[in-house]
Amino acid sequence: MLEVQGAIAKVKKYAVSESGDTVEMVERPEGGISFVMADGQRSGRSAKMVSNIVVRKVIALLADGVRDGAAARAANDYLRIQRGGKVSADLVIVSVDLHTRTLVISRNTRCPVVLYIADHVELLDESCEVLGFHRTTRPVVREFPLQPHMTVLAFTDGLLAAGTRRGKRVEYVDMVRAFHQEDGRNAQRLADSILSAALELDEGRPIDDVTVLALTVYEVEDTQDIRRLHVRFPVPRVLPATGV
């Protein structure tokens, strides 16, 4: 049988109180899970509000059984109306749909998504529009049959910005290939290694918010139908002030 792992690693921009990226997971009513990742325009609290608007709308619709592409279009309409078409957000939805037994990847982002499948790396980088500006904006949706040895790597544009001050970049495609040569299962390990590479290039001071989402599919003999969820996050010594 097949088993799926999903993992997230993220860090906020250096010297900014809050990340403008939001990522959440939801169970699909007909079986499976979806990860929804959004990057609000700019950074900090204002960007966080924008990404929250998008992710909350998509999560609610997916939980009600709305298909991924329709949920993305609805989020675009909602953000455009709420912010008058003046604010944008990048969106990626990565779904394991057990009803269709497929992996579904929906993009409204300038960032590519890396797909490793059948010992081949495919870069999903078709041109598409971000959310929030135009009424006719639609996602680029790709669907693949679930099979062993699949990996998805999605990220926000902070990963692409990492190292640019030094003329370097994160070699994320090569890292995905190396991951499959060594392991191919531990999604958290892949997400952590990609984020660590970005932090190293920025000398521990990320120039933008970075969120990395990794999902792996592989063969196992028996899982006893056990599902697990593991979360780790730091608690600041001093919580940020709230209020008007």
Identify whether the C-beta of residue 152 lies closer than 8 Å to the C-beta of residue 197: no
Higher-scoring residue by pLDDT: 155, 237: 155
Domain architecture of the chain: domains with CATH:
2-219 (3.60.40.10)
pLDDT in tens, 150-195: 999 999 999 999 999 999 999 999 999 999 998 899 999 999 999 9
| Contact call for residues 13 and 19 (beta carbons, < 8 A) | yes
What pLDDT, on a 0 to 100 scale, did the predictor assign at position 241?
A: 56
Q: Rounded CA gap, 133 and 64, in Å? A: 26
* pLDDT(225) > 90: no
Decide if pLDDT at 114 tops 90.
Answer: yes
pLDDT band at 244 (very low <50, low <70, confident <90, very high): very low
* pTM of the model as a whole: 0.95
Q: What share of the chain is helix, strand, coil (3-state, %, to 5)?
A: 30, 30, 40
The C-alpha angle with vertex 235 and arms to 14 and 15, in degrees rounded to 5, equals 15
